Amino acid sequence: MEAEGVGAVDVSVVVPAYGSRTSLDRCLTSLLVQRVRKEIIVVDDGASEEVRRLLRLYAVYHPGVVRVIQEPGPGLPGRMRNRGLDAARGRFVYFGDPEEELGPEVLGRMLAVADGQGADIVLRAAEGRAFPRAAAREALADGSVYDDLTCAKLFRRSMLERHRIRFDETLRIGEDMVFAVHAYCHAEVISAVAVGERGGPPSRREEPSGDPLAWLQMIRVPLAVLGRHVPPGPLRDRLLARHFRLDVLSQLGAPFLAAREEDREKIVAETADICAQWLTRGVLDLLSLTDRARVEALDDITHLVRLAEVEQARLTHRLTGLEWQGDRLLICGRVALDGIPGRPGLILRERASGREWRPGVTSVADLICAVIPARSLPAGVWDVHAVVECHGTRRTAPFGQVRDANVTVPRLRFAGRRVVGPFFTPDGRLGVDVGGHVIRVPGSVRLTRTEWVGRRLRVDGRVRVAKAPAAPAVRQLVWRERTSGLEVREPAAVTGPGTFSAQTCGFWPGVWDAYLELDVGGPPLRFPVKVDCPENLGRSLRWWRGPVRWTARPYATAVNRRLSTSVVVSSPRVVFRRLVRRIRRT
């Protein structure tokens, strides 16, 4: 780790001076309140006189913290940031945006993670941004990390100097991306931290310019950097797939439709040349169906136009019916692409793994009815999507947010030893839970009797899940000691469609509460064993183990009528005293 001393700087913040005076003022104010040892380097290469007066005020009132570097004449963004980086003294460098306003804890939290993890790069995991979650250490192969290719991060300056990482001063667009790609290639540890933000630029992801041809020509630079520093293999394929998905093939969408006919040929030629150089079989396998269709159509501009029209067309959908018919869930609605004929339907996508399951669909025009057999759908949380297939590709969208007023969620079904139930997410999207992962599973366990078989307590009962007999899902009877949390598990036998039986021994002193554990396809479920009739409780059992008397008494709790067993150990002296007291009372 870099040495620290008196007056040492932890973070150098480099800010180019462009934009309005008001936004720059707010940006600098938010940087001054950051709780780190810092320096703020503002690079001015021709700002307005109003902005320059503001910078002089900051430099006067905050000497040693705010430094202003004057650059002769207007320059490209890369040159301004390089001048600030050359002047930086901090252990870390943060490249700020004059239109960005940081929350007061942002740099402090990022610095703490960088020092704690030994990170070379720290990303901000802010809600609604390119990288949505915090993590102490992240792999470069994680797409959510590499998706963020701007310089709004904390970089270890020694890494930048050791590998001579600088901004490309010849680029008018994309200099952030080239810098970030180069830094990612040499970072040994990458971290992300959740931070609060009051404001900021519209997006932290480098957005393509309005000129798709210029953007494609620029993309060759970061691809070349990636090719020099990452050897061929799965990692390079994953990183290249990000560029093809967001930077290369995306130019054959809306920008392609907006371009003139003669420019479309140039865009296709540039894209085809990039594909010939960098598109491997491994990269192709990671692309979406639409992107693979674009690659196959690079020699057919007419088909590329159709694909772009499909991508830009409005996908309309409406949920009109949701009900059970026996053990089959029926989902009815309307799905269509405006102005483009296609085959409508539904797909279910498992939330954790991303695998897809296609139900049988009957369709007439834009009317569809999908049938989901409860016993056939694998366990998991399945999000329902509307889909329209046409021209060798498809469009999908979450289904259920637009629905008829009379559509309600039907109750869960217990079928095939699993619970299956539709649900709506907080934002109204339709999903199907198989196994009780995200929705509460209603169930009840009722005691029918207890009896002692030797020193084993036998418990018989009835179990229902979603109002259906659920004995096939029974796993075991669990006795949990109320104070210590110690558990005793005993296998439970199925004695009927809705009944079970289990025998238990091995109690230790304490109060033991009874739970029945079920396997309904997802996380194990536990329901307390309730006592409807106290007459069903067996007698207490007493026995001697050496000089000690044991007493086990099953009973129903006073409040919830749950089955519990009290186990008490009495020494001979205690037994004698109780006997004497009983004699005296008589």
**pLDDT score of 372 more than 60:** yes
**pLDDT score of 546 more than 50:** yes
pLDDT score for 135: 53
Q: 440 — phi, psi (to 5°)? A: -70, 135
419 forms bridges with which residues in the sheet? 414
Chain centre distance of CA 540: 52
pLDDT score for 575: 58
CB 69 within 8 A of CB 87: yes
pLDDT digits (tens, 9 = 90+) for 379-391: 999 999 999 999 9
Q: Which residue has the higher pLDDT, 100 or 476?
A: 476
Q: 401 — phi, psi (to 5°)? A: -65, -35
pLDDT score for 584: 72
- Residue appearing with tokens 């004449």: 73
pLDDT digits (tens, 9 = 90+) for 412-454: 999 888 999 999 999 999 999 999 999 999 999 999 999 999 8
**pLDDT score of 549 more than 90:** no
**pLDDT score of 565 more than 90:** yes
The C-alpha atoms of residue 296 and residue 26 are separated, in whole angstroms, by 49
Query: How many Cβ atoms sit within 10 Å of the Cβ of residue 574?
Result: 13
pLDDT digits (tens, 9 = 90+) for 85-102: 999 999 999 999 888 899
The C-alpha atoms of residue 563 and residue 560 are separated, in whole angstroms, by 9
How far CA 440 is from CA of 49, 417, 561, in Å, comes to: 63, 16, 22
Domains and CATH numbers, the chain: 8-199 (3.90.550.10), 213-312 (no CATH), 318-434 (2.60.40), 443-573 (2.60.40.10)
Low-confidence winner among 122-131, 231-240, 381-390, 493-502 (lowest mean pLDDT): 122-131
Tokens of 107: 């740099």
- Percent of the chain residues past pLDDT 90, beyond the cut: 74
Q: Of 339, 336, 338, 257, whose CA–CA distance to 302 is shortest?
A: 257
Low-confidence winner among 79-93, 211-225, 534-548 (lowest mean pLDDT): 534-548
Query: Residue 147 contacts by C-beta under 8 Å, 6 or more apart in sequence?
Result: 130, 131, 205, 242, 246
The DSSP letter of residue 245 is I
- Find the angle CA(298)-CA(345)-CA(251) to the nearest 5 degrees: 25
Tokens of 79: 């040159």
- Cα diameter, the chain: 113
pLDDT score for 557: 94
The residue-averaged pLDDT of 148-171 equals: 94
Sequential DSSP letters for 532-549: S-GGGS---EEEEETTEE
The reported pTM is: 0.77
Low-confidence winner among 321-335, 473-487, 565-579 (lowest mean pLDDT): 565-579
Query: How many Cβ atoms sit within 10 Å of the Cβ of residue 584?
Result: 7
